[in-house]
Amino acid sequence: MTTRVEQVMGLPISLDLRDEGDFAEVVDEVFAWFREVDARFSPFKEDSEVSRYDRGELPAAGLSDDLLEVLELCAYYEQLSGGAFRARLPGRGLDPCAVVKGWAVQRAADLLKAEGATTFCLNAGGDVVTAGEPEPGRPWRVGVRHPEQPLAVCAVLESRDGAIATSAAYERGSHILDGRSGTPATGLMSVTVVAGDLVTADALATAAFAMGSEGITWAADRPDCEILIVDDHRRVHRTAGLALAS
Amino acid sequence: MKKTIFVVALSIAGFIAVWRFEPGPVHNTSAIAQAPPASVTAPSTSAPPPTAAPATSATPSSPPRTSTSDSADTTVTTRGSAESSRYGTVQVQVTFTGTRFTAITLLQAPDSGRSLTALPRLQEEAMQAQSADIDTVTGATETSESYKTSLQAAIDARGNR
């Protein structure tokens, strides 16, 4: 059993690994990966790969496979969301953070699994990947933070080998912009998406939040996810397949 | 306690009025609202009816809701039969707590393959989940300052003991 909490990529990242044995080395690798992602993909670091690419300093042949993958994901979700999700807003630099976070954390979870870990919960700033079950027959119980009360939850979800992401404006104010208008997203208090992987969950949660109230049906109509959305009128919208803990 | 049996019949027209009252149109309910009144009948409290309940679509009767009033707080979920209209198939599920409805689920809607529940409001009383009850928290925890006072921090502290 290993637990570790570090502040990386501007996020508190918690790993709760329940497997027996010595996983110290792979856990070191996981957190080293997060630091590497921060160095390479942060738009706030001048010498990051993303910043250099954005300034046109990287030749087309010089782009790493990782950066190409991130750019492709950004383009995919931009198209899927009709432009509500946008990595490059007019007048602003490239900011692929919304995709990078889910992508990097999912990659870390895959690394843990490749090294033999079977039972863990990895939480990066409230975005969660689970593997296995903490106890035989019992799934991981994931509380959904109440949008108005920091120490309360408004639902508890069950998760096995899945991913859950939440987008909301209750922490940093209206920082998620609707890419179609360039103005802060309105209409929703929090969007929680459950999916098979965190790339999907995180990108859909961000895109749905950016879309505002249209994002409710938009996300519900995606076949590969379940949703729990609290709108500005404090109504809760959820899909029937959502695994609520009893 | 004796099992409560609800028999609920709601006309689609009446239901749509309720559905559209406060919530914004989650689905394309405008199309449904124009549908000819059909009745949604919930014959029992559990499984969906095997076949369509008698479709009294021409004459929606007033909802004959009967209940044994042995408990005001009993939660009962009823599921209407799937009714087809020229706009597509519509089926709803209604949850009552006591005599008040607390949730409506559109199980089948003409314009969407997914069913979506709209609870009237976020529970006023948040679930007082102790950190012992959950393994982790999903939410927008984006700064080190907010993390320090978060439920997730309490859970992490428990793990590190």
Give residue A215's identity as a one-letter amino acid code.
G
How far is B144 from chain A, CA to nearest CA, in Å?
A: 6
Instruction: Give yes or no: residues B133 and B79 share one domain.
Output: no
Is A246 among the domain residues? no
- The answer to whether residue B45 scores a pLDDT higher than 60 is no
Residues 6 or more apart whose Cβ sits within 8 Å of residue A154 = A144, A145, A146, A147, A230, A236, B122, B123, B126, B127
Instruction: Give yes or no: residues B69 and B148 share one domain.
Output: no
What's the whole-model pTM score? 0.72
Per-residue pLDDT band at B6 (split at 50, 70, 90): very low
Distance (Å, rounded) from C-alpha B100 to C-alpha B98? 6
Is A136 among the domain residues? yes
Instruction: Give yes or no: residues B98 and B141 share one domain.
Output: no
Instruction: Give yes or no: residues B57 and B33 share one domain.
Output: yes
- The answer to whether residue B17 scores a pLDDT higher than 60 is no
Tens of pLDDT, residue by residue over A42-71, are 999 999 999 999 999 998 888 999 999 999
Instruction: Give yes or no: residues B63 and B114 share one domain.
Output: yes
Query: Do the Cβ atoms of A235 and B122 come within 8 Å?
Result: yes
Chain A hits for B107, CB-CB cut-off 8 Å, are 240
Tens of pLDDT, residue by residue over A199-219, are 999 999 999 999 999 999 999
User: Which of B116, B118, B140 faces A168 most closely, judged by CB atoms?
Assistant: B140
Q: What is the mean pLDDT of residues B41-61?
A: 38
What pLDDT sits at residue A191? 97
Is B74 among the domain residues? yes
Number of domains in chain B: 2
How far is B105 from chain A, CA to nearest CA, in Å?
A: 8
User: Which of A12, A121, A240 faces B135 most closely, judged by CB atoms?
Assistant: A121
Instruction: Give yes or no: residues B84 and B143 share one domain.
Output: no
Is B38 among the domain residues? yes
Per-residue pLDDT band at A1 (split at 50, 70, 90): confident
Q: Hey, is B93 helix, strand or coil?
A: strand
Structure ipTM: 0.92
User: Which domain range does residue B155 map to?
Assistant: 127-161
User: Which domain range does residue A35 map to?
Assistant: 2-238
Distance (Å, rounded) from C-alpha A159 to C-alpha A192? 13
Q: What is the mean pLDDT of residues B94-119?
A: 61
Is A30 among the domain residues? yes
Residues 6 or more apart whose Cβ sits within 8 Å of residue A126 = A145, A165, A166, B137, B138, B139, B140, B141, B142, B152
Distance (Å, rounded) from C-alpha B105 to C-alpha A194? 19
Chain B hits for A234, CB-CB cut-off 8 Å, are 121-122
What pLDDT sits at residue A114? 97
How far is B58 from chain A, CA to nearest CA, in Å?
A: 31
Per-residue pLDDT band at B90 (split at 50, 70, 90): low
User: Which of A3, A164, A171 faces B146 most closely, judged by CB atoms?
Assistant: A171
Instruction: Give yes or no: residues B102 and B37 share one domain.
Output: yes
Is B1 among the domain residues? no
- Pairing outcome for strands B83-85 and B88-97: antiparallel
Distance (Å, rounded) from C-alpha A75 to C-alpha A86? 8
Is B49 among the domain residues? yes
Instruction: Give yes or no: residues B85 and B105 share one domain.
Output: yes
Instruction: Give yes or no: residues B22 and B85 share one domain.
Output: yes
Contact A98, A202 (CB under 8 A): yes
Instruction: Give yes or no: residues B76 and B136 share one domain.
Output: no
How far is A37 from chain B, CA to nearest CA, in Å?
A: 17
Query: Do the Cβ atoms of B114 and A221 come within 8 Å?
Result: yes
Is A244 among the domain residues? no
Chain A with chain B: Cβ pairs closer than 8 A = 177
Tens of pLDDT, residue by residue over A78-99, are 999 999 999 988 888 888 988 9
Is B3 among the domain residues? no
Q: Which residue of A has its CA nearest to B159?
A: A3
What pLDDT sits at residue B104? 60
Whole-number percent of chain B with pLDDT over 90: 4
User: Which of B122, B142, B147 faces A154 most closely, judged by CB atoms?
Assistant: B122
Query: Do the Cβ atoms of B136 and A128 come within 8 Å?
Result: yes
Instruction: Give yes or no: residues B73 and B48 share one domain.
Output: yes
In CATH, what number is assigned to the domain containing residue A97?
A: 3.10.520.10
Per-residue pLDDT band at B140 (split at 50, 70, 90): confident
Chain A hits for B122, CB-CB cut-off 8 Å, are 146-148, 154, 230, 234-236
Chain B hits for A233, CB-CB cut-off 8 Å, are 22-23, 121
Number of domains in chain A: 1
Instruction: Give yes or no: residues B133 and B112 share one domain.
Output: no
Window from A31-40, A111-120, A209-218, B53-62 with minimum mean pLDDT: B53-62
Best of A206, A238, A242, A246 to disrupt the B interface (most B CBs within 10 Å) is A238
